[in-house]
Chain A
Amino acid sequence: MLSDEEIMNWPEAGTATAAPVIRADHLDLTFQTNDGPVHALKDVSLDIAKGSFVSFIGPSGCGKTTFLRCIAALEHPTGGSLTVNAMTPDEARRARAYGYVFQAAGLYPWRTIGRNVALPLEIMGYSRAEQAERVARVLELVELSGFEKKFPWQLSGGMQQRASIARALAFDADILLMDEPFGALDEIVRDRLNEELLKLWDKTEKTIGFVTHSIPEAVYLSTHIVVMSPRPGRITDVIESPLPKERPLDIRDTPEFIEIAHRVREGLRAGYEE
């Protein structure tokens, strides 16, 4: 998305690799409601480095989804600054800098899986040949090859969600924003998709922002865990995971894993007791 020259011109950037892909600086967002103003985000500062996997965890109302939506320019902050790839979020959105995965798959029932995945490609004006090539590639990535001709309602919930991830990957944005993508799935399916997501992240080297309210999920997936708390929505802790990049599912029984999970739980509890 960004040429080398632009990265070099970034005022605070030391080297190209250290430049944060997403940088939030004293971000505020206040909603005006009938019951008075609601501080959805207050004084949120965070740098997300290229290639990291950042989870946002916290109780409902802590602003984790709101923050993700701010990055995606689906909400507009009322104060502070936020840059994505050194652009405003809205510019980044128009430059198609990220893929977004919602809580529900949200596939269009009138399109086949293949055509659903091709939807962003059609909108962004890719050629027919390239569309077909990319659809085949991302469907293979999420292990849905052979389901191109099926309609969404003929697939299970887990498969639908995988298709929606494929849809977000199709146009090769280097940021992937995921808002509780597996929240509605059962534990077994969720475990498998988590494992697949990690492999995918390893293969594609994308920067991922991931909202969840499951502690094991956050710890298992992330390089950084951002703990947030509500009223007003703010960051209370950022935990850098010492876990290796290679993570089999049973890593969740190791002392290191339990240690980090404990720290996250402490952070969440501290947020509550304030």
Chain B
Amino acid sequence: MTLVIFALVLWAVGFGLNVMLANGPARDTGAVRLAVPLIFGLTILGMWELIVRGMQVSTVILPPPSLIAASFAENLGLLWGDFVQTILKGALSGYIIGCGAAFLTALLVDRSDYLRRGLLPLGNFMAALPIVGTAPILVMWFGFGWQSKAAVVVLMVYFPMLVNTVAGLSETTSMQRDLMRTYAATWGQTLWTLRLPAALPFVFNGLKICSTLALIGAIVAEFFGSPTLGLGFRISTSIGQLDLGMVWSAILVSALSGTLFYGLVALAERRMTFWHASHRGGR
């Protein structure tokens, strides 16, 4: 019981500290902006640990963070293999193929008004569908290896990317297009100097959405069949063995890779669309 009381004290301290920081004089500095969410996160972790231990919650239901950390450290090699299998082989290759194909389709669609008017509503519709459901079919077609995961990812990222790129390519103003006309610029020149740069913010929005979708696709597809490694495989088999420390470690790996993946795309976005109103933050 004392541990639970400790947890409540910890909460009060963490929260009090945050209230102080968030309303204090240094509240707009970068350090505080970073510290407040970190303190919040650590407080939650601490409370989790204390309450799980204090109430003696079965580790099957919720293992304490220390146990997860220990299991994570113990199985680094295994988890690395899972990471390579699921993230690098399955998700990343599918992401590159799917986004690349969608981008090329968008360029193609863009040349014909008929195609654009036909594909855009259809793409919007498809983007809202539970495409993850095609996983069993694709696993059946492409086997248990990473290829079937990549195929699921391709299908999942294709339509959101297509819709975003097509929308981005029509993002120019009539004045900008007139300007290119006065230069008698060719379609290719207009595309390269005007429409692609103007589409970049949309393209990156698509890439960011797809980065999360790619991981979801790769992991869920493993639930339908996989070789004896991969994050989805690890999660489903460890659940079977009630090894919850391992399950949480695998989830931690997927969470970290998701954030890393997204972060890399966001970083590239920042470098390439620094000129866009949303990044330059006032003159």
Contact = CB atoms under 8 A, between A and B. Distances in A.
Interface string A141-183: 0000000000101100000000000000000000000000000
B216 interface: no
A100 B200 CA distance: 26
B170 interface: no
B276 interface: yes
B77 to A, nearest CB: 45
A153 B275 contact: yes
Interface string A119-130: 110111000000
Contacts of B173: 106
Tell me the dominant secondary structure on chain A's binding face.
Answer: loop
A106 B175 contact: yes
A183 to B, nearest CB: 13
A148 to B, nearest CB: 16
Interface stretch (A91-99, A205-213, A217-225, A244-252): A91-99
A100 B184 CA distance: 12
B114 interface: no
A84 interface: no
Interface in A47-77: 69, 72-74
Nearest to B200: A110
B179 A123 contact: no
Contacts of B175: 102-104, 106
Contacts of B275: 109-110, 151, 153
Contacts, number: 56
A108 interface: yes
Contacts of B276: 109
Interface in B173-197: 173, 175-176, 178-185, 189, 193-194, 197
B193 A123 contact: yes
A98 B283 contact: no
Nearest to B181: A74
B278 to A, nearest CB: 12
B182 A123 contact: no
A110 B193 CA distance: 10
Given A96-B184, A99-B182, A106 B176 contact: yes
Nearest to B272: A110
Nearest to A99: B182
Contacts of A109: 275-276
Nearest to B177: A74
**Max count, chain B CB within 10 A of own CB: residue among A94, A98, A99, A123:** A123
Q: Give the interface residue-count category, chain B.
A: 20 to 34
B183 A124 contact: yes
B182 A100 contact: yes
Given A109-B275, A123-B189, A102 B184 contact: no
A170 to B, nearest CB: 10
A124 B185 CA distance: 8
A131 to B, nearest CB: 13
Contacts of B180: 123
Given A123-B189, A151-B275, A153-B280, A110 B197 contact: yes
Nearest to A156: B283
Nearest to A96: B184
Interface string B158-184: 000000000000000101101111111
A213 to B, nearest CB: 18
A59 B121 CA distance: 42
Given A110-B275, A123-B185, A100 B283 contact: no
Given A110-B275, A153-B275, A154-B283, A72 B182 contact: yes
Contacts of B176: 106, 108
Contacts of A119: 183, 193
A151 B280 CA distance: 11
A94 B280 CA distance: 37
B184 A93 contact: yes
Contact of B283 (A74, A96, A99, A153): A153
27 contacts: A72-B181, A73-B181, A100-B178, A100-B179, A100-B182, A102-B175, A104-B175, A106-B173, A106-B179, A108-B176, A108-B193, A108-B194, A108-B198, A109-B275, A109-B276, A110-B197, A110-B200, A110-B273, A119-B193, A120-B183, A122-B193, A123-B180, A123-B185, A153-B275, A153-B280, A153-B283, A154-B283
Interface of A: 69, 72-74, 93-96, 98-100, 102-104, 106, 108-111, 119-120, 122-124, 151, 153-154
